[in-house]
Structure 1
């Protein structure tokens, strides 16, 4: 097979984790090929919530102007706070803090959000290729490139290191991780997302709904504008299978709940209904580093077990991967032994939060009767509530 090009690093997947990795590496002067099976802008099924931490990382990578421009165009919708609704209808409201430099949280459709980071990678010097990666190239146990298909033709692209950032169904992850190391169902989730018009919204507030049929998951309403919201629900995969649920039916049942139905007096319009799976970062002893390769973001399984959010951890892992790769390339050693420092750094940065979130998830599953009492308590103690929410 003819080799088309050679690079220092190939990043497979131009979503938040991959584009962040490519941006950080390109800004350090590395030759980076960023490959995605879709051209940008493109949609991605997600809850669309963008935390303050995401914006701070983006600003550190030089995306401040791009974020401000997206806000001005109405593509990033500002968030001021949240509402948490318990099984009995008790509500906890909490404000979101701003960053030290005025950074805020947002809801942004991934067609807009991902385009900002992907463009930053290109602007920083990464080469972008619209192609579908079929498999890594492995020689003498080392990943040395990828086979990618474009326009019906498969070609070889070589590199010193490959980064798998191609999501929960990653072709790189599936080729490198043995079947025994795949995520168990209790560390996975299934979710449905749609966009809705015609529902009375709480401006600049995201809403989370906890109720018996979905625990330890939740339903959500996240406004993306004054009249449109991302609406959806998600639940742990093992519970979903045990209860033999249908997500589309569950969404209709959620919309028929009195507290929701009364907010849709003039009827609603649903569009872009989509279902996807997630892999939590709470399963022990998962491998993210290999001879000549790393996994970042959803491909590694860095989803928060309680919120189902993965963008912030994708950005964090992208930064850590770029730092690890720079050191490995400088030393001339791209073995797993050299790269596994990335696993330790990811563990140090994210593991305690993952385990804490998984503990909260088990509480929701095993002690649902405590939820309303906790919401009422937090509602009376705003300081404790803020501290609790910051740990999610």
Structure 2
């Protein structure tokens, strides 16, 4: 009788504990809302690249000057997102995500209304400042949905919307811009943002479990050496994905000597690879501290070499593009888990830093590729710039970061 009474008491305590965690009514809908938000963000980011010639002509500036708008977006992610994350440290993650989506809508509306390049640059910086903070806060909510030990899967879920944007969102934005004008592309993104905002408002849980922390806790993460080592490893290693993605058009038309109509196909193949790699990357990150990054970086080095040697053959190029997207995305959830492991009390800021590292990698890959092209080493030479950068990131990881054990992530109360 005593044992049965004790068991009943334990069962009641467990039920009260579960109830205190404010279970989510529709977890799949919550995850969908988060992914829809990142899809809208990714569509605006990648779609801008596809309409650069259009707004350069309309605003009467050269293509190099028009790229300031693209750079401003990346600068917003690298600088603006961590700043917003710190300023909003105490804000409930639900409230923060809704506020960020409002700022996203404002940034894209200002982009559509910009009457000169200066205003467009400011609008793109504002919009970019949303991205990293949204991904960081979204990863916290997704981790709450999945429960302890699923940080990699949580971040991969949030990243899923971005990978789908490379497959569908970017071509959609480019098509709309070419058909109805570049301003229509940004209004389309506003419409997607409104849908995402409505989904977030409806399905994000209202719970104190998602309350923020102190600014001191967030800043404390920036004092951890392992955080900055991992940030550097990410910025160096992931750069090769952009040393390829940025130059897919020339790869198809100049190296493989195929019609430009195949460029969207090549971009879609690359995007599908990213989606597949992201899916498995989340699972690998939750099972192994190092495997996802080592496999991802090691695999992409092999594929880069294949493109550099035989990428002029479309039969070789397309599978390798799929592989580069897949192997690089295999590594990114592991990077997020390691960042959070080094600073478990600042998960939102670590998510923002991860996105900041990716945008820095974007610049490094594009700059490295431009250097090899300017040197006259041929269209496919950009992959060797990526090869060097990823090798540096992998060597740094093996030599330093892999020997530094992150602090264990505490289970939520």
Both proteins in one fold, TM over 0.5: no
- TM-score (ref. length: structure 1): 0.26
What is the TM-score with the length of structure 2 in the denominator? 0.25
Greater strand percent: which structure? Answer: 1
Structure holding more helix per residue: 2
